[in-house]
Amino acid sequence: MVSLEQLNVGHNWLSGKIPESICRLPNLENFTYSYNFFTGEPPVCLSLPAFDDRRNCLRGRPVQRSAAQCKSFLSKPVDCSSFRCKPFVPTLPPPPPPSPPMPVPSPPPPPVFVPTPPVYTPPSPPPPVSSPPPPPPVYSPPPPPPSPPPPAPVYEGPLPPIPGVSYASPPPPPYY
């Protein structure tokens, strides 16, 4: 019932107090319980986006049953053995398990210094003799501009008739 959005129990013979847990269902947006004999409704039910509590036995609410109707109905005992009456106990799904804690990264181990023995390096060679400067760059002409697109095809068919201009009718079909 957690995903329930609309609940309509109207036009029954229900009585007693509406359980607050019904009106606290997380997705309930429309609760209709009109035309019953309810005697109590929690304030949270009145804050739903849409509800209909007309024609019940709710004190202080507009458009309720008459006191005589409520007294007549509520004075009759309910045979719970016929209906297997039980107190309402809502069953909500268990909460999701807590997420496991994030592992804490351990700091990296300190660097270990290992001395390296000196390596013999021969003396560097003398600087090279300067070479002549490179030749100047050769420029090539730019590519030719792209050719224009081909012309659009021209429609050579007959033109549509012009309104207001009379035309000769075609010859009759040949008679054989």
pLDDT in tens, 22-34: 999 999 999 999 9
pTM beyond 0.85: the answer is no
Instruction: Tell me whether residue 133 is in a domain.
Output: no
Given a cut of 70, the residues of the chain with pLDDT beneath it are 83, 86-96, 99, 112-132, 137-141, 152-162, 165-170
Instruction: Tell me whether residue 159 is in a domain.
Output: no
Instruction: Tell me whether residue 18 is in a domain.
Output: yes
Instruction: Tell me whether residue 75 is in a domain.
Output: yes
Instruction: Tell me whether residue 115 is in a domain.
Output: no
Instruction: Tell me whether residue 77 is in a domain.
Output: yes
Find the length of the chain.
176
Say how many domains are in the chain.
1
User: Within 39-130, where are the H helices?
Assistant: 67-74, 80-83
71: nearest Cα among 90, 57, 54: 57
- pLDDT on residue 89: 63
Q: List, in sequence order, every residue forming a beta bridge with 38; answer none if it has no partner.
A: 16
Instruction: Tell me whether residue 130 is in a domain.
Output: no
Instruction: Tell me whether residue 120 is in a domain.
Output: no
